[in-house]
């Protein structure tokens, strides 16, 4: 059963703006990235999503394909973004089977709550490798195809008779803008992701490619929020009250931001971090996922759910 369009895409967009275009998306079986891909497919495009879990990735690809009759969506599992060869092979397969790569989303990520006292070097490295190195590997694998697409669909600021192409979006976070407890690993990784994006915009902008970051805030009904936030009623209410817009976001709002950056409307946006968080980062305090700062640090309590996490002697 197809997901109702109003659940993953705003009414702003005209059908067919991505006709015959191809999107390559890492982390495509996740809640946010699958929503981004679904919106792209609904507007005429075809897609290839990448993930580590074969069954989950292939199942999600079939589900996304229901967004538009005749859509082609490939799911390639058993691909770790930390492996540049596996990622390059996936990109090459995508281009061969779907006819090229016009757009890319570097969305694979890892996160969990952990204070530095419980965060091992291996755990820190794992997040850095998935988020930062994975984003770099994704860019490296797809940029030759994006340059080719950009050469066919010139970014001149005028109407595009053949549509847009040659664009990449990296998915980041706001933790490193203000600092956040329990997120040293992710803050470091996402800061690196931002800089990879900006370097891409500088070096490949002259070749017609645009490179931008989308930074989601707390998005409802996502795997990330299930992992990163306590679910009791008091904590949820407090979390939403701390956001100027007064609520958590919806997956469709990240999808709409994605369509904007990929569409003709976003042609002159390059090297930009588009924050979609209801204004949360502007008033960000020291709390994280219901753990109140500095109380939880001074209490000596251990954050639950950290794999192998034990209180160190720090």
Q: What is the largest CA-CA distance in the chain?
A: 63
Question: Is the distance from CB of 27 to CB of 101 less than 8 angstroms?
Answer: no
Choosing from 172, 187, 239, 263, the catalytic residue is 172
Question: Is the distance from CB of 254 to CB of 219 less than 8 angstroms?
Answer: yes
Q: At CA 90, angle to CA 87 and CA 92, rounded to 5?
A: 110
Ranges of beta strands (E only) in the chain are 22-26, 46-50, 73-76, 103-106, 167-171, 210-216, 273-276
User: Which DSSP string corresponds to 206-259?
Assistant: GGT-EEEEEEE--BTT-HHHHHHS--SHHHHHHHHHTSTTSS-B-HHHHHHHHH
Asked if 190 is an active-site residue, the reply is yes
Question: Environment class of residue 304 by beta-carbon count within 10 Å: exposed (0-12), middle (13-18) or buried (19+)?
Answer: exposed
The Cα 72–Cα 242 span in angstroms is: 41
**Joined tokens for residue 252:** 């469709």
* DSSP classification of residue 280: G
* DSSP classification of residue 74: E
**Joined tokens for residue 298:** 């001074």
Asked if 230 is an active-site residue, the reply is no
Choosing from 21, 135, 149, 190, the catalytic residue is 190
The CA-atom distances, in angstroms, between 33 and each of 154, 189, 304 are: 27, 18, 27
Give the catalytic positions in this structure. 172, 190
């Amino acid at each position: 059963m197809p997901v109702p369009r109003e659940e993953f895409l705003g009414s702003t967009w005209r059908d067919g703006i991505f006709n015959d275009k191809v999107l390559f998306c890492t982390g495509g079986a996740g809640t946010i990235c699958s929503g981004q891909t679904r919106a792209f497919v609904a507007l005429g495009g075809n897609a290839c999503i990448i993930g580590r879990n074969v069954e989950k990735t292939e199942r999600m690809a079939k589900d996304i394909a229901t967004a538009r009759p005749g859509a082609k969506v490939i799911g390639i599992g058993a691909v770790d973004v930390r492996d540049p060869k596996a990622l390059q092979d996936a990109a090459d397969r995508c281009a061969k089977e779907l006819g090229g790569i016009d757009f890319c989303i570097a969305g694979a990520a890892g996160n969990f709550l952990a204070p530095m006292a419980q965060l091992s070097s291996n755990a820190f490295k794992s997040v850095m490798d998935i988020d930062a190195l994975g984003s770099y590997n994704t860019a490296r694998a797809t940029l030759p195809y994006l340059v080719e697409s950009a050469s066919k669909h010139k970014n001149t600021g005028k109407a595009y008779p053949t549509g847009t192409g040659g664009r990449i979006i990296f998915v980041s976070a706001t933790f490193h803008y203000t600092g956040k407890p329990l997120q040293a690993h992710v803050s470091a990784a996402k800061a690196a992701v931002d800089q990879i994006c900006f370097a891409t915009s500088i070096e490949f902008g002259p070749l017609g490619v645009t490179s931008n970051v989308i930074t989601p805030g707390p998005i409802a009904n996502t795997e990330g929020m299930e992992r990163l936030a306590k679910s009791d009623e008091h904590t949820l209410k407090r979390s939403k009250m701390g956001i100027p817009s007064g609520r958590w976001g919806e997956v469709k709002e990240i999808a709409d931001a994605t369509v904007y950056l990929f569409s003709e409307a976003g042609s002159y946006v390059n090297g930009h971090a588009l924050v979609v968080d209801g204004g949360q980062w502007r008033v960000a305090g020291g709390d994280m996922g219901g753990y109140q700062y500095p109380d939880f640090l001074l209490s000596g309590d251990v954050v639950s759910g950290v794999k192998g996490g034990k209180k160190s002697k720090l």
